[in-house]
Structure 1
Amino acid sequence: MATRNKNKMCEFEALLAEHIEGIELLSLDDVGIVGETPETGTTFEENTMIKARAAAAESGYLSIADDSGLVVPALGGEPGVRSARYAGCEGSPAERDRANNALLLKNMAGIKDRYAEFVCCIACAYPKGGGEGDFVVTGRVSGEILCEPRGSGGFGYDPLFWYDELGKTFAELSPEEKNKVSHRAVAVMALAEKLKEIKRIRELLC
């Protein structure tokens, strides 16, 4: 998987394990890939495919990558593809999260329409396919941005994202609750179904 983010790895492993028995995920560090792939795309779909293809080419493994973020229509779609670096903070992940949340609240001040979506796109790329067979799946979940953070779990914008169906922010959900309803959960379910379909086709052809 084209990431070094331990939180993301843990979440993906837990989600995929529910759908595909015996699957093992390796991070960029696990396969010895150094450096970062520039996210030069203008959409989640473009960025995730850029990362997946780069990881597949360098590692020689079937590779997946995700690009996730928060989309607030009242802010013209911000933070969008810049969600992780919205405030431009270069500190630790926790420091970046605090800075991003603070900027989001500042930009949302006085705005009544607080509707937002978490979006997760996952790309899967083959190491020697030349792009053939590569695909992207997408998951979305709707909510609202609160005026102050609530909860201590999760990461990113979770403390500000109110999920009305459960009456909690994503940061107030248990890992088990979040893994059933999150944008990442929806996307991973679609990924798992696609991978199982590919596996069945290969078994029929063998």
Structure 2
Amino acid sequence: MSLIVLATSNPNKVVEIEPLLNAAGYQTKLQTEFFSDEVEEDGLSFVENAIKKARFASAKTGFPAIADDSGLEVDALGGQPGIYSARYANDHTGMTTEQQNLQKVLDELGDLPYEDRTARYSCVVVYVDHADDPMPIIGFGHWYGEILKEPRTDHGIGYDPIFWVPKLVKTLSEVPLEVKNKISHRAKAIHQVLEQLEHKNKI
């Protein structure tokens, strides 16, 4: 099986990405098995950050790498927090908690009615054959919903406790992992990459 390095140290991303790659016949190793430093995510888009992370991991390991960049985009906030989702409530020390980020979104939306609280989770997944790959493979995925006025659960990742998915009548914090791995923004982006890899390998 071909080896791909997962360019993330986030365990929540690993449990979504790794099974999909393994099921497609790829062997995976985490970047933390090779190195501990992180690339600076200073791009202005999900695409730029994902490419930076994939190239960095490939350069450090010498293997093909796959990376994602993802976040919450709230329409009433002009698409924020977007690429800053993990550090939206930055307190100038660079240290923020998921609860602080979530609360900032709730505070900024205030009492807006639900029809004005539309949002989406977006994800970009990038695969590179090597660090200088001139043609990265890129996949895109979105998951649409709306922001509740308060958390529905006291568990979940990131903004999941306030992200309502009308089609499932649940927040993301209530969606089982096996369902997320089929229909999430990240799963959609990964499947796009896998389809392109399959086509590339047949040429």
After TM superposition, is the score higher than 0.5? yes
Q: 1:193 to 1:154 in 2, by over 3 A?
A: farther
Cα deviation for residue 8 of structure 1 reads 1.0
Residue identity in the other structure for 1:88: N
User: Equivalent residue for 1:119?
Assistant: 122
C-alpha separation in 1, matches of 2:193 and 2:169: 28
Matched, 1:142 2:147: no
Judge conservation of contact 1:139–1:185 (CA < 8 Å) in 2: yes
C-alpha separation in 1, matches of 2:21 and 2:173: 21
Cα deviation for residue 151 of structure 1 reads 3.2
Q: What secondary structure, in the 3-state scheme, does the structure 2 residue paired with 1:16 have?
A: helix
Q: What secondary structure, in the 3-state scheme, does the structure 2 residue paired with 1:142 have?
A: strand
Judge conservation of contact 2:139–2:191 (CA < 8 Å) in 1: no
C-alpha separation in 1, matches of 2:156 and 2:197: 27
Matched, 1:106 2:111: no
Residues 160-169 or 9-18, more deviating: 9-18
User: Equivalent residue for 1:30?
Assistant: 33
Could you list the per-position Cα deviations for residues 126-170 of structure 1 after superposition, in whole angstroms to 9, with x for gaps in the alignment? 225x33231221101110000111235541111111011110001
Cα deviation for residue 87 of structure 1 reads 1.1
Report the TM-score, using the length of structure 2 for normalisation. Answer: 0.89
User: Equivalent residue for 1:5?
Assistant: 10
1:115-194 aligned at under 5 Å gives the runs: 115-127=118-130, 130-151=132-153, 154-194=156-196
Judge conservation of contact 2:127–2:136 (CA < 8 Å) in 1: yes
C-alpha separation in 1, matches of 2:117 and 2:20: 29
Moved over 4 A (4+): none
Q: 1:189 to 1:4 in 2, by over 3 A?
A: same
Judge conservation of contact 2:66–2:126 (CA < 8 Å) in 1: yes
Residue identity in the other structure for 1:57: A
Judge conservation of contact 2:21–2:27 (CA < 8 Å) in 1: no
Q: What secondary structure, in the 3-state scheme, does the structure 1 residue paired with 2:15 have?
A: helix
Q: What secondary structure, in the 3-state scheme, does the structure 2 residue paired with 1:193 have?
A: helix
Q: What secondary structure, in the 3-state scheme, does the structure 2 residue paired with 1:187 have?
A: helix
Judge conservation of contact 2:137–2:193 (CA < 8 Å) in 1: no
User: Equivalent residue for 2:71?
Assistant: 69
CA RMSD of aligned residues (A): 1.7
Percent of aligned positions with the same letter in both sequences?
40
Q: What secondary structure, in the 3-state scheme, does the structure 2 residue paired with 1:25 have?
A: strand
C-alpha separation in 2, matches of 1:196 and 1:152: 40
1:14-25 aligned at under 5 Å gives the runs: 14-18=19-23, 20-21=24-25, 23-25=26-28
C-alpha separation in 1, matches of 2:126 and 2:33: 19
Could you list the per-position Cα deviations for residues 161-199 of structure 1 after superposition, in whole angstroms to 9, with x for gaps in the alignment? 101111000101111122222101111111111121222
**The structure with more strand, counted as a fraction of residues:** 2
Q: What is the total number of aligned residue pairs between the two structures? A: 194
Report the TM-score, using the length of structure 1 for normalisation. Answer: 0.88
Which runs of 5 or more residues in structure 1 are unaligned?
A: 202-206
Which runs of 5 or more residues in structure 2 are unaligned?
A: 1-5
Judge conservation of contact 2:9–2:32 (CA < 8 Å) in 1: yes
C-alpha separation in 2, matches of 1:83 and 1:108: 15
